[in-house]
Structure 1
């Protein structure tokens, strides 16, 4: 019998997220100077910071490249930020080898075809509610939230709750 996503969450040590369609709703606002602006949900940022402060690894792997996004993520304390990545599988393998992370302990959230192959390598593939049908089909968990609207917070909070760390975090008892 296959393990439920809640059972798999017990073993998660690492979160990897795509940006467009996961940390954002996939909308790009283009300024008159050609700068592409994205919106990110504040609760997703809070959850990523909580995960880092609770000892989880948080990594970003995205095909898109935007310095504003990089600055936002660094301000949250995320140091493993891979933007403009043409081959997500290669970046994933380099990241897991560098930190000696077992793929079975990784939750990856993606939303579209560029995430497909890397999602097949992790212990817990997840996606936002509005992900493409192909990604939903291979996901062990589909958030009830859309990309950029709290889907990242949803999966982080669930993992931390399953592992008994969410309550400790919001009561100020985290390390």
Structure 2
């Protein structure tokens, strides 16, 4: 974690996640009946829960829509869920108006071109290691982990460390 990323993460009040390629490995699984399923990483889930417990609000903004994501968001306690929304920056602007926050107070984790306008606009815009190379090039930082393989946990722990909450949350398990 470099000093610039830690500085950007100090004032974060809202962490926003893309789904496919970030909270999952990006593969889409369709069953014969047309339904789909996704696999999520439990380490990422616990990182999001720790972030919520520290007082940082959370949101998902996804261009696709599926009941699986709704269930995962509910299970983790993610407060704001937007699915089937292609213009992610417009969604973020709506959410910020509702929460009375500004772009500088937002961290975003994405992986592909539709995420780029948000990554470039927020206070901490990051890409997962498996993100499109153009997106990685324009993000403030890139996780070491790939999407669906601990990248969200790394992102959450960066924010928690910058805000001085990581060690306290971890030590609760000792």
Structure 1 length as normaliser, TM-score? Answer: 0.93
The CA RMSD measured in Å over matched residues stands at: 1.3
Which residue is 1:128 aligned to?
128
- Cα distance in 2 for residues equivalent to 1:54 and 1:45: 14
Which residue is 1:77 aligned to?
77
What whole-Å deviation, never above 9, does each CA across 1:111-131 have from its counterpart, x for those lacking one? 001111122210111011010
Cα shift at 1:162: 2.0
Looking at secondary structure, tell me which structure has more helix per residue.
Answer: 2
- Cα distance in 2 for residues equivalent to 1:157 and 1:68: 25
**Structure 1: any 5+ residue segments left out of the alignment?**
none
List structure 1 segments (4+ residues) > 3 angstroms apart after TM superposition. Answer: none
Which residue is 1:138 aligned to?
138
- Cα distance in 2 for residues equivalent to 1:156 and 1:66: 24
CA contact (8 A) 2:86 2:114 kept: no
Tell me the number of residue pairs that the alignment of Structure 1 and Structure 2 aligns. 171
**Structure 2: any 5+ residue segments left out of the alignment?**
none
What whole-Å deviation, never above 9, does each CA across 1:11-47 have from its counterpart, x for those lacking one? 2221111000100010111111111211110011101
